[in-house]
Amino acid sequence: MQSCSIRKKSEVKRLANVSRCSGGIFDVQGKNARLSELEGVLSAPDLWDDNDRAQALLKERGDIAAVLEKLASINASIEDARELIEICELEGDPLAGDDIRASLAAAEGSLDKMEFGRMLGGEHDGDDAILTVNPGAGGTDSQDWAEMLLRMYIRFCERMGWKVRTLDRQHADEAGIKSATLSVKGDYAYGMLKSERGVHRLVRISPFDASARRHTAFAACDVYPDLPDDIEIDIDESELRIATYRASGAGGQHVNKTDSAIRITHIPSGTVVQCQAERSQHKNKAKAMKMLKGKLIELEMAEREAKQQALAATKQDIAFGSQVRNYVMHPYRMVKDTRTAHETSNLDGVLDGDLEGFVKAYLIANPSS
């Protein structure tokens, strides 16, 4: 019992030191000082003369308050563990050990999440995201694979507690999809989903091959930030090609009876966006324009930072040699990321949305990319 208490005391001390360390998100003293400063600024009578500045200050105050609340919760768990250790030593209560482990696990889990958040420091990492999936080489298998990827991302977003909405979905003739676009709203949606940008390769026994031969299929995922409405980007209307088409979906719906869907092509960059989520053509156009702005911002960021690899997935052939991740169903079961070497044999879990390990490995290798 004594050695167990010593180990638990050591763990409590380690977590307490981490939660109190200065700098970054754990600088409690600095954050409290800034919070007090903001309270004074926000109480100024002329604050709302500059609406943009006021909104930015309110957001900063909310972000700081949220961090301090999380740190307070971590410290509370640590103090609970200290008290339970004392009870365990004084009364020799063996049941207290489970409560101690639970308190320490809660504290360590919260710290891990906050440490993870430190890796998401890019300019748009905190924004919502637009995610697209397109099939590549592989015929019907690739279209089916694209739909499997789409389901995987939807499940991952649901696991993260994000709101997902389908903006566009083009069904393939035999199976799968020709393309799909999702709107993802949630904390750090873009910062985490950007790890999925690229070509994904599947190896399996094809369900569409009567001879049950092994086939390789490819599909590409692209991710860009869903920018706030107040972001201004100058787009010359003469450089746009706008087309309407009849939305696809279950028969009998209003969207199938009118040309309400919108496709916009930005001619200079070759960027194409489309939306069929709304019944109104006007609303679909507004959403498509917002998507276009997000894509153009992503292009500008990539050029400014000289990171052309960020756009490689959309510029390379969606075929062998360009993949960022391999999913193998036969002759063995394995998922491996070619960028980070992170891998797992839990293929079913990954396809069901368990992507946290791959996301974390990418962010560690590419902090604030």
pLDDT at residue 301 in the model: 66
Among residues 118, 142, 161, the one where a domain terminates is 118
Residues 47 and 183 in one domain: no
17 residue type, one letter? N
| DSSP structure string for 309-351 | GGGHHHHS-SSTT-EEEEEE-SSS-EEEETTT--EES-HHHHH
Residues 27 and 94 in one domain: yes
Residues 158 and 214 in one domain: yes
Q: How many structural domains are present in the chain?
A: 2
pLDDT at residue 4 in the model: 47
Residue 106 maps to which CATH number? Answer: 1.20.58.410
Give CA–CA dist 20/183, Å, rounded.
38
Residues 333 and 204 in one domain: yes
Asked if the structure places residue 183 within a domain, the reply is: yes
Instruction: List, in sequence order, every residue forming a beta bridge with 348; answer none if it has no partner.
Output: none
Q: Which two tokens stand for residue 311?
A: 């756009």
Residue 95 burial (CB count, 10 A): 9
pLDDT in tens, 237-295: 788 888 887 776 554 444 455 677 888 888 888 888 888 878 788 888 888 888 888 88
Residues 222 and 308 in one domain: yes
Residues 158 and 107 in one domain: no
Domain residue limits at 142: 128-232+290-365
Residue 147 maps to which CATH number? Answer: 3.30.70.1660
Residues 212 and 300 in one domain: yes
Asked if the structure places residue 133 within a domain, the reply is: yes
Among residues 118, 148, 176, the one where a domain terminates is 118
Residues 218 and 329 in one domain: yes
pLDDT at residue 10 in the model: 55
**Contact by Cβ (8 Å): 61, 39:** yes
pLDDT in tens, 12-61: 555 555 555 544 456 788 888 998 999 988 888 888 888 888 888 898 88
Residue 363: closest CA among 112, 222, 192: 192
Residues 61 and 159 in one domain: no
Burial of 34 (0-12, 13-18, 19+ CB in 10 A): middle
Distance of CA 237 to the CA centre of its chain: 31
Residue numbers in the chain where pLDDT is lower than 70: 1-26, 92-97, 117, 228-234, 248-258, 301-321, 368-369
323-328 and 198-205: which strand pairing? Answer: parallel
pLDDT at residue 102 in the model: 79
**217, containing H or E segment:** strand 214-226
Residues 191 and 324 in one domain: yes
Asked if the structure places residue 259 within a domain, the reply is: no
Asked if the structure places residue 109 within a domain, the reply is: yes
Asked if the structure places residue 107 within a domain, the reply is: yes
Asked if the structure places residue 140 within a domain, the reply is: yes
Asked if the structure places residue 197 within a domain, the reply is: yes
Give CA–CA dist 22/70, Å, rounded.
16
261-266 and 177-185: which strand pairing? Answer: unpaired
Residues 197 and 308 in one domain: yes
Give CA–CA dist 58/65, Å, rounded.
11
Among residues 67, 83, 118, the one where a domain terminates is 118
Asked if the structure places residue 250 within a domain, the reply is: no
293-296 own/partner pairs: CB under 8 Å, 24+ apart:
293/227, 293/231, 293/233, 293/235, 294/130, 294/224, 294/225, 294/226, 294/227, 295/130, 295/224, 295/266, 295/271, 296/233, 296/235, 296/266, 296/269, 296/271
Residues 60 and 24 in one domain: yes
